[in-house]
Amino acid sequence: MQIRDLPYSDPGDPDVRSGPRFLFWLGRNQLGGQLKSLSWGLLHQLAIAGLPVTVGLAVQAVIDRSGGRLALAGGLIVALGVLIAVGDTMLHRTAVTNWITAAARVQQLLARKTAELGSALTRRVAAGEVVAVSTGDVEKIGWFVEALSRFAAAATALVVICVGLAVYLPSLGLMVALAVPVLALAVLPLLPRATRRADEQREKAGKATELASDTVAGLRVLRGIGGEELFLGRYRRASQEVRRAAVRSARMWALISAVQVLLPGILLISLVWYGATLARDGRIDVGQLVTVYSAATLMLFPLRHFEEIAMAYSFSRPSAQRAVRVLSLHRSAQEATVEGVTPTGDLYDPATGLMAPRGQFTAVVCGDPDEAGRLADRLGGHAETGEEDEKAAAAAPSVLLGGVALDEIPLDAARAAVLVQDKDPVLLSGTLRELLDVPSSGLVTADAALEAAQCADVLSALAQASADNDGDPMRTRITERGRSLSGGQRQRLALARSLVTDPEALVLDEPTSAVDSHTEARVAAGIAKLRQGRTTVAFASSPLLLDAADRVVLVHEGTVVAVGNHRDLLRTEPRYRAVVTRETDDEADTVNGVGDVPALKSDDVPAMKSIEEIEERA
């Protein structure tokens, strides 16, 4: 695989059982690139290893006053120099290719997982962690994959050099051959502590990144409530913790580097002292001493790769573990088994008993907002299946659309059939036309969707901001996440985008929470009109939206406990009234006749939408 061939047509099915297994899977899938890098690395290392031999020949030729052998030695040095240059160039080229292609594979896997899980991803994994995995962690994983082949080449070269020295000059070669394993393994006792400190640094850095991401996402709100300094102080403290952890980690790696300088230095001093003694006694030639000393000196370079691979693994292992934590998530506990099916019909959740009849506008009321979000995810086929609750998720029944389990149909078909708009939808940067250019049935135009979502004021604001586009709001660029718009404007544009897709079933989680009551009433009417004949489910607690629905379902503690229309439920169901009117326990007792205010009959309170109206009536 070359860089020009990216992206991969299929990044593969990763081994997500553990971080080390994932790293091994990456290396195995780049076996061709690893072998190329290993080959060029061996050429580079062995050419370097050949220099001491030629230098020794040259020195001995000078001592013996042999011009022919000196010329031969000079020619060999030139040839080795060419091989070193070619080998180093190609080694760098192939190693960096391995790095980039491995990082690209991981990023494609993460992008595929993000597309599979959608908004459910950030419900299970913190957004900051996802950002950390897709940026810094990807680079560290690629670093280990790249360093692996260079380490293998260096280790092979060391073995060849040690064997060659032992054969060439046993008196000194055996000394070097016995010392090299000690030099290579001397840092092993320090690695566990260095790894723990590196893990601590990565954990703190991930938390700081998550805090920064959340702060930037909520910057508009923070400015509104004057909380900028508070969160800035929190980030300063988190940043200082990262700095201190990085310093502690750097101290261990500095100690490891010092050991790898000190011990080889002791070896060289001992080698020179013992070799000089042998040369003085006439037991070896000066050229042989120069050859062994030069070889021992050049061996320090491949020994550095032992430190590098240890660092690369220590840094990439927690990064791979975080990547595995994201890649091991699934949209459901089952694999798709039904092909070529686009189901239609009633949307039914067996776990809660929630039924959304086909072609009707169903509103769902939950007392717990988190429960509403989880139920919305389930209706879209995004049941939670993390490692901690995999068995429970496997036992949970799948949501059915027209009697067909969403878990049993391909992801594309499930997404086309049921679209879930999250409580906090994201607007990508681009023009308004690009925002609304999404896969759709083609039956709903952008103008109709914008009108239903009551985006007239948004279009006016965009038209004023599009001086260079002849006042065309559709050509006006929207900043990333729609930060130039208010919360209500972003919410209505996201709703228009969902309406344009015109899915078989549309699930909306609090679609009008950021707009005023007058706009909310018009939006509710627009949804009901535009989605007439299509299945629509809206999770909400606003009386204006609930009153526009064909039927209302009350979900309490994970189970459907009441079904009807808004006005009937308001009169007859205390739990529904408590959620919709936000009444307290004392107010509920008053309304039901426990307090000083006389109790009301259900016939006395038609269409009341707030506890204030009930108290006034009483």
**Mean pLDDT across 569-589:** 77
| C-alpha torsion angle, residues 430, 434, 440, 444 (rounded to 10) | 120
Distance from C-alpha of 25 to C-alpha of 588, rounded to nearest angstrom: 61
Q: In whole numbers, what is the pLDDT of the chain averaged over residues?
A: 80
Q: What pLDDT, on a 0 to 100 scale, did the predictor assign at position 168? A: 82
Residue 392 pLDDT grade (very low, low, confident, very high; cuts 50, 70, 90): very low
Instruction: Quote the Cα angle for 466-469-471, to 5°.
Output: 60
Token pair of 259 as six digits: 């050991």
Burial degree of 584 (CB within 10 A; 0-12, 13-18, 19+): exposed
Residue 326 pLDDT grade (very low, low, confident, very high; cuts 50, 70, 90): confident
**Mean pLDDT across 171-180:** 84
pLDDT tens profile 56-87? 788 878 888 888 888 988 898 899 899 989 99
Collapsed DSSP state (helix, strand, coil) of residue 73: helix
One DSSP character per residue, 78-139 reads HHHHHHHHHHHHHHHHHHHHHHHHHHHHHHHHHHHHHHHHGGGHHHHS-HHHHHHIIIIIHH
Sign of the torsion formed by the C-alpha atoms of 97, 99, 101 and 102:
positive
pLDDT tens profile 215-233? 666 666 666 666 677 777 8
pTM over 0.85: no
Q: Show Cβ contacts of residue 559 under 8 Å, excluding neighbours closer than 6 positions.
A: 352, 353
Q: What pLDDT, on a 0 to 100 scale, did the predictor assign at position 452? A: 93
Q: What are phi and psi of 503, to 5 degrees?
A: -75, 170
Residue 120 pLDDT grade (very low, low, confident, very high; cuts 50, 70, 90): low
pLDDT tens profile 584-601? 555 555 444 433 333 333
Among 369-383, 420-434, 574-588, the range scoring the smallest mean pLDDT is 574-588
Distance from C-alpha of 116 to C-alpha of 97, rounded to nearest angstrom: 28
Q: What pLDDT, on a 0 to 100 scale, did the predictor assign at position 336? A: 44
Can you give 154-170 as a three-state secondary structure string?
A: HHHHHHHHHHHHHHHCH
Residue 602 pLDDT grade (very low, low, confident, very high; cuts 50, 70, 90): very low
Q: What is the CA radius of gyration of the chain?
A: 35
Among 26-40, 98-112, 171-185, 474-488, the range scoring the smallest mean pLDDT is 474-488
